[in-house]
Chains A and B, each alone.
Chain A
Amino acid sequence: DGGITQSPKYLFRKEGQNVTLSCEQNLNHDAMYWYRQDPGQGLRLIYYSQIVNDFQKGDIAEGYSVSREKKESFPLTVTSAQKNPTAFYLCASAHRGPAYEQYFGPGTRLTVT
């Protein structure tokens, strides 16, 4: 089955700890995206990558870091510098063709206490 996997589904961390969220896709898509969603709000772009070894900051990149060493993987690290990390995190990928349609993973709900 082709798709996007995010693990784990739920993640709990203590304040001050860094945590890495996994995102893997087997759709052979070039572009990958990380979003954050807070209750009752839309999605805000954290980081995105169009090709391997290249990525751009989105609207709310402060306190986050990413890497894109492999085409199929785009892990997101939430660092201790992120002031309010508790949120629902969504990963997406897209083929860089005429349509550029995004496909989303199931999300990871991160709770930091």
Chain B
Amino acid sequence: KQEVTQIPAALSVPEGENLVLNCSFTDSAIYNLQWFRQDPGKGLTSLLLIQSSQREQTSGRLNASLDKSSGRSTLYIAASQPGDSATYLCAVLSGGYQKVTFGTGTKLQVIP
């Protein structure tokens, strides 16, 4: 059974700092890994998707990397801003029926 863990559970940083969020998974036979952002009481917004054959993806100040062999992904946020404050979730697609397993999330607060 696929298990996905995110560390830390919460993070508070001053504005302008670069930061790294971590996601680990137990079964390396994945189809893809997707990073999401969730604002309080809202649905999820897709940030980056890394297919199993890829090592990283970039979008603006965000960079996500994937190391299947070690079962890890990182989301790097450069020059953090107060508007980046949200919960960040990673999700892994795996299995014959393309089942999705989510991590528990990292709640980020960027202090002005």
Contact = CB atoms under 8 A, between A and B. Distances in A.
B89 interface: yes
Interface in B38-82: 41-46, 49, 51
Contacts of A43: 44, 89, 91, 102
Given A41-B104, A48-B99, A50-B98, A99 B49 contact: yes
Interface residues of A, number: 27
Nearest to A91: B43
Dominant secondary structure at the A interface: strand
Contacts of A92: 44
Nearest to A59: B101
11 contacts: A41-B104, A45-B100, A50-B98, A58-B99, A90-B43, A96-B98, A99-B51, A101-B34, A104-B43, A104-B46, A106-B42
Contact of A99 (B32, B42, B100, B101): B32
Secondary structure dominating the interface of B: strand
B35 to A, nearest CB: 11
Interface of A: 31, 33, 35, 41-45, 48, 50, 56, 58, 88, 90, 92, 96, 98-107, 109
Nearest to A41: B104
Query: Interface residue tally of chain B, by bracket?
Result: 20 to 34
A85 B43 CA distance: 18
A33 B44 contact: no
A56 B36 CA distance: 24
A99 B36 CA distance: 15
B34 A44 contact: no
Given A44-B102, A45-B102, A104-B44, 13 more contacts: A42-B89, A42-B103, A43-B44, A43-B102, A48-B100, A88-B41, A90-B44, A99-B49, A100-B31, A101-B32, A101-B46, A102-B46, A107-B42
Contacts of A56: 97, 99
